[in-house]
Chain A
Amino acid sequence: MKRRTFMMSTAGAAAGLAFAPRMSFAAQGTIDWYTSSDTNILDFWTNTVKPAFEAANPGIKLNLVDAGDGAGVIAIGERAIAAKQTKADPQADYFESADALLPAGAIKAGVYTNIKQAGLANYSKVNPLAIESEYSLPYRGSQVLLAYDTTKLKPADAPKTWEQLVTWIKANPGQFVYNRPDKGGSGGNFVRRAIHQANGLDPKAFKVDNYTQAFGDEALGKAWKLLADIAPSLYDKGAYSSGNTQSLQLLSQGVVTMIPVWSDQVLQAIEQGVLPAETGLVQLQDLALCGGFTRSVVIENGANREASLKLADFMLSEEMQSAILTELGGFPGVSWDHVSADLRKRFADIIPQSIPTFPGGKWEAAINDGWYRNVAPNVDRKS
């Protein structure tokens, strides 16, 4: 190298360093990925997705970060908005689980990528029931089912409708338990199924923005009556476990015969031997219990936007969607037609006809408060 060019380039580099803003940059080619999900999801990504994706895409690496909870991901979303305004690097590329509407204004600020228009090859496979926004990608789901002990209840007698379920609960006092609606989705969606029951089995009646005090009091009030009615026939005359796992524990100890469960949790529990192989699963046929999809978001102003879109597309591939079923016990985010035939056959009993959902927002707070005030205490445990 000529001395002059060397001098110029060093001077240039020094000047560049002096002018560069004092901050760290995200490494090029390393996708900064954040999740708010549980450890089983992080394990799934670490052990299954990361090796497969990195092998398929040499030069791209995944940096998997646990953001703790929903609030943690929202905080990083807020950081991305701030970074966009100052044209800085948000140091975030991919949210495994996020709500495209949070933090408020993220879409308007141009921080979230419009997935529908991003040209993903596999986007057309996504289950249309699951799409909530063009800015988020439902890639896995799970639904609440009823799990029961087949040694005490024959599969042929398992309740298939809400009416049959209530009849069964009352005929078998102490054999059913669901957890507090805010402490885990299995009990939470059982409570939401009661709300659907009390309001004409119409999930569309509840929207994220149609909560008013009057409508809420009326619609939820009817559901509290239904739930208070079955309360004396529940486990311990109206006790409610404090989480999904605790319900599973009561079922596995043979204390109760039936509980509502998350599909992924119960499949994993049976797989790992926490629940015996004799555990039966059933879905209500008049209207299924609610489920939910986990939606991913790609950061528009992230340093690795293109690589992140590759990752999003990769998650919709048959390989990954099958892994979600077999390794994670989740439901696919793509339509069941795009899942391999033998898996479709294996999970035929629990493939839902529809996946009703229930909005969050103010409804959630109203349900959480109302249930504790109206259903939980109304029982005289001493009798």
Chain B
Amino acid sequence: MSEVTEGAVRPLIDGAARRRPIGLLLVAIPVLLMIWLVIWPAMNAIGRTIWRTDANGQLSFDLSSYVFFFSDRYSLDNLAVTLWTTFVCAILLLVICLPIALYLRFSHGRLSAYVQALAIFPMFVPSIILAFAFIRVLGPNGMVDILLNAVDLPKIRTPYLTPWGPVIGLVWDNIPLTVLILLAGLGSVANQSIEAARDVGANALQVFWHIILPRISNSVLVALSFSVLGIFSSFTLPYLLGPASPEMLGPFMQRTLREVQNPVGAMTQAVVAFGFCIVFGLFYVRSVARNQGK
């Protein structure tokens, strides 16, 4: 028992001098992992696409793979469809998830618990299963077609193997994360401020626009940059549901590396993707930093 009593004597908050090495050690593992698995390969890829061995075996500064990427119609089409998909998904996510999050924040009871469970559900469905379920339901002669046929309606124009296929899949896949982040943000909206606004005669739209939105703008940015990062580099859903051409950068990179056997081309595409992701990532870092500063 003596150990326990001794432990209890320890001050609740250690001195800063004793605490610091432990804190740094705890951070060191993820930081080292990130340097090893993310930053170093990224640097390596940038280096190997810029300094390349020429025909004489000499290392030299060479941007030709980037010149090719940005002058190649096919690569640019793929980049364009990736940006289009990301943009459309982000808009749709916001339009779908904000009402769900608002509903969950301001309503109580059993129904809202069910809605929440339903909104989180996609998180537990692996995307490969989602893709094949999508084909069965929304695909040609799928369940929707069968149901429509039963009531003598014409078949739908299936989104399978068109650019809308991955959009629908990716939006569904990203709903849980977006709803959770928005919900967390809505937690910081005090009931008092809404009641105060209502007391002075603000309608629902005005409450949303002037009270809620300014408080959660940060969460919206975080939610969007999270899902945008995932969507931009997604692979499985565009691969299984999207058209052969134009294809998103994820499948395009994998194909260039393995099937076209062009590692430099694949790395160039990766660096370009990395560049776009950094821009999205900066939004996130900026909004987190702004929050910390408060």
Contacts and interface: CB of A to CB of B under 8 A. Distances in A.
A239 to B, nearest CB: 4
Interface string B93-125: 000000000000000000000000000000000
Interface in B226-253: 239-240, 242-247
Given A241-B161, A249-B135, A377-B77, A372 B140 contact: no
B7 to A, nearest CB: 44
Interface string A229-242: 00000011001111
B259 A365 contact: yes
A182 B259 contact: yes
Nearest to A373: B74
A133 to B, nearest CB: 22
B259 A240 contact: no
Interface residues of B, number: 23
A170 B74 CA distance: 28
A42 interface: no
A368 B252 CA distance: 12
B127 interface: no
Given A182-B255, A250-B140, A369 B135 contact: no
Contacts of A242: 161, 239-240, 242, 244
Nearest to A376: B245
A365 B260 contact: yes
B141 interface: yes
A135 B278 CA distance: 50
Given A240-B244, A246-B135, A381-B162, A372 B239 contact: no
Given A365-B260, A368-B259, A372-B255, A253 B244 contact: no
A360 B195 CA distance: 71
B135 A368 contact: no
B262 interface: yes
Which secondary structure dominates where chain A touches chain B? loop
B240 A246 contact: yes
Contacts of B243: 239-240, 376, 381
Nearest to B77: A377
A372 B245 contact: yes
Contacts of B259: 182, 364-365, 368-369
B261 interface: yes
A182 B245 CA distance: 13
Contacts of A182: 255, 259
Contacts of B239: 242
B139 interface: yes
Contacts of A364: 259, 261
Contacts of B135: 246, 249
Contacts of A373: 74
Nearest to B262: A365
A240 B242 CA distance: 10
Contacts, number: 62
Contacts of A236: 140, 158, 161-162
Interface string B251-278: 0000100011110000000000000000
B142 interface: yes
B143 to A, nearest CB: 10
A358 to B, nearest CB: 15
A165 to B, nearest CB: 20
Nearest to A239: B161
A140 interface: no
B111 to A, nearest CB: 36
Contacts of B77: 377
B260 A368 contact: yes
A353 to B, nearest CB: 31
Contact of A377 (B140, B162, B240, B246): B246
Contacts of A368: 255, 259-260
Contacts of B162: 236, 239, 381
A373 B259 CA distance: 14
Contacts of A249: 135, 139
Given A182-B255, A239-B161, A365-B259, A372 B244 contact: yes
Interface string A345-383: 000000000000000000011001100110011000100
Contacts of A240: 161, 243-244
Nearest to A256: B140
Contacts of A250: 140
Interface in B193-231: none
B271 to A, nearest CB: 20
A236 B247 CA distance: 17
A100 to B, nearest CB: 20
Nearest to B254: A182
Contacts of B74: 372-373, 377
Contact of A239 (B142, B244, B260): B244
Nearest to A377: B245
A246 B161 CA distance: 11
Nearest to B141: A253
Nearest to B242: A242
B141 A255 contact: yes
Contact of B244 (A254, A365, A376): A376
A180 B244 contact: yes
Given A377-B74, A381-B162, A365 B141 contact: no
Contacts of B161: 236, 239-242
B63 to A, nearest CB: 21
Nearest to A368: B259
Given A368-B259, A377-B77, A381-B162, 13 more contacts: A236-B161, A240-B161, A241-B161, A242-B161, A242-B239, A242-B242, A246-B240, A253-B139, A253-B142, A365-B260, A368-B260, A372-B245, A376-B244
Interface of B: 74, 77, 135, 139-142, 158, 161-162, 239-240, 242-247, 255, 259-262
12 contacts: A182-B259, A235-B140, A239-B162, A240-B244, A241-B161, A242-B239, A255-B139, A365-B260, A369-B260, A372-B245, A376-B244, A377-B77
Interface of A: 180, 182, 235-236, 239-243, 246, 249-250, 253-255, 364-365, 368-369, 372-373, 376-377, 381
